[in-house]
């Protein structure tokens, strides 16, 4: 892996960083600049980190604290696309977070370097020993590695914690296996959150995430169908191959003022109008401002129903009235 592809997003016009949060460096390919940053060593963790649930939060807290104590950078190694997306091209698992959302969450957790190589055929076939020597040692100068209790890596998942510990003794890095977080007897995981969201159990997702499930994105111009129906919407592209939620929801929206705004949202393809492209559409209550281009955060509070195809626009409008009334009642409570 050669060449230079890294950036510090606090100076990027595409991914602005809040001034109170320290900069985090994104590295897509190994470079001399990366070598300079890890010259004194690093504390590394590896994983998809999709969703940033309570297990992720606690593990990252340990990584950041250990790196601070050692006075070396904290590093999260992840891959794009995720390995699961690469191996399941036809039906990839739902993404809880798009790439920018993951970047923002890692930065807010205090991570110094986000090392995110491309997952391709070469990475698929990499041997465990090559993975350790090329990525962990040569690229990241790993002094301490923190992994989850189910971590496996390399071709045919031949690498595991015992392989890493043997390599660590030979190559001079330590390995810490972080225990899973359990809530009500169930292991907190991205898969469990996906399952909860798929069945509309937002309360369970909230327990595992430590917050409401959120989708973020920039408001784009649509076909103005909602405005024609009396329900103007802020449209947000999903920017993921498979979304985690589908249907109609009561939501709160941040990013447009000092306090979250109440609304009702649809995630789907708009079958009444023969839509095919999935979209997040948000109608904000008692709100009338031009927000095209604004970056918003949509928190999903309660699922109202599944997306349906109606016989005509009049039937859809009647249902939208009912959805709005239900959402207002839920959010007021």
Element containing residue 184 per DSSP (H, E): none
pLDDT confidence of residue 225: 66
Contact at 8 Å (CB) between 264 and 304? yes
Q: How far apart are the first and last CA of the chain?
A: 54
Query: What is the layout of strands, in order, in the sheet containing 5-8?
Result: 5-8, 25-29, 113-115, 74-77, 42-46, 142-148, 174-178
pLDDT confidence of residue 312: 87
pLDDT confidence of residue 20: 58
3-state secondary structure of 108: helix
pLDDT confidence of residue 274: 60
What are the backbone angles phi and psi of residue 282, rounded to the nearest 5°? -120, 125
| Cα distance between residue 213 and residue 200, in whole Å | 11
What single-letter DSSP state applies at residue 152?
Answer: -
75 beta partners? 44, 113
The closest of 263, 248, 268, 236 to 319, measured between CA atoms, is 248
Relative to beta strand 182-183, strand 186-187 is: antiparallel
Domains of the chain: residue spans and CATH: 5-183 (3.40.50.620), 212-332 (2.40.30.30)
3-state secondary structure of 56: helix
Contact at 8 Å (CB) between 300 and 307? no
Q: What is the pLDDT along the chain (333 residues), one digit of tens a residue?
A: 434 444 433 323 334 444 456 799 999 988 889 999 999 999 999 999 999 999 999 999 999 999 999 999 999 999 999 999 999 988 889 999 999 999 999 999 999 999 999 999 999 999 999 999 999 999 999 999 999 988 999 999 999 999 999 999 999 999 999 999 999 999 999 999 999 999 999 999 999 999 999 999 999 987 666 666 778 899 998 888 788 999 999 999 999 999 999 999 999 987 776 666 788 999 999 998 999 999 999 999 999 999 998 888 899 999 999 999 999 999 998
What are the backbone angles phi and psi of residue 9, rounded to the nearest 5°? -75, -5
pLDDT confidence of residue 165: 97
| Cα distance between residue 15 and residue 13, in whole Å | 6
């Amino acid at each position: 892996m050669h060449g230079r592809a890294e950036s510090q997003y606090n100076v990027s016009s595409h991914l602005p960083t809040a001034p109170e949060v320290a900069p985090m460096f994104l590295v897509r390919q190994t470079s001399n600049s990366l070598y300079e940053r890890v010259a004194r060593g690093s504390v590394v963790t590896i994983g998809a980190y999709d969703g940033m649930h309570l297990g992720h939060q606690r593990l990252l807290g340990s990584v950041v604290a250990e790196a601070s104590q050692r006075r070396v950078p904290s590093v999260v190694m992840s891959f794009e696309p995720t390995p699961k997306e690469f191996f399941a091209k036809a039906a990839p698992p739902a993404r809880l977070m798009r790439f920018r959302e993951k970047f923002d969450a890692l930065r807010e957790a205090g991570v110094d370097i986000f090392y995110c190589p491309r997952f391709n055929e070469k990475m698929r076939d990499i041997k465990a020993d090559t993975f350790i020597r090329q990525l962990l040692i040569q690229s990241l100068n790993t002094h301490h590695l923190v992994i989850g209790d189910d971590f496996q890596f390399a071709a045919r998942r031949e690498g595991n914690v015992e392989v890493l510990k043997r390599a660590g003794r030979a190559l001079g890095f330590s390995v810490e296996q972080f225990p899973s977080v359990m809530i009500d007897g169930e292991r907190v995981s991205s898969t469990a959150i996906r399952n909860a969201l798929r069945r509309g159990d937002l309360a369970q997702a909230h327990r595992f995430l430590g917050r409401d499930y959120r989708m973020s994105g920039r408001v784009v111009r649509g076909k103005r169908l909602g405005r024609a129906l009396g329900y103007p919407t802020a449209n947000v592209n999903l920017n993921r191959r498979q979304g985690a939620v589908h249907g109609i929801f009561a939501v709160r929206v941040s990013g447009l003022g000092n306090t979250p705004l109440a609304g009702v949202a649809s995630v789907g393809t708009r079958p009444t109008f023969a839509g095919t492209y999935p979209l997040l559409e948000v109608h904000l209550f008692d709100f009338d401002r031009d927000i095209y281009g604004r970056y918003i955060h949509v928190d999903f509070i309660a699922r109202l129903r599944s997306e349906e195809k109606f016989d005509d626009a009049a039937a859809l409008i009647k249902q939208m009235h009912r959805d709005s009334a239900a959402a207002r009642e839920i959010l007021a409570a």
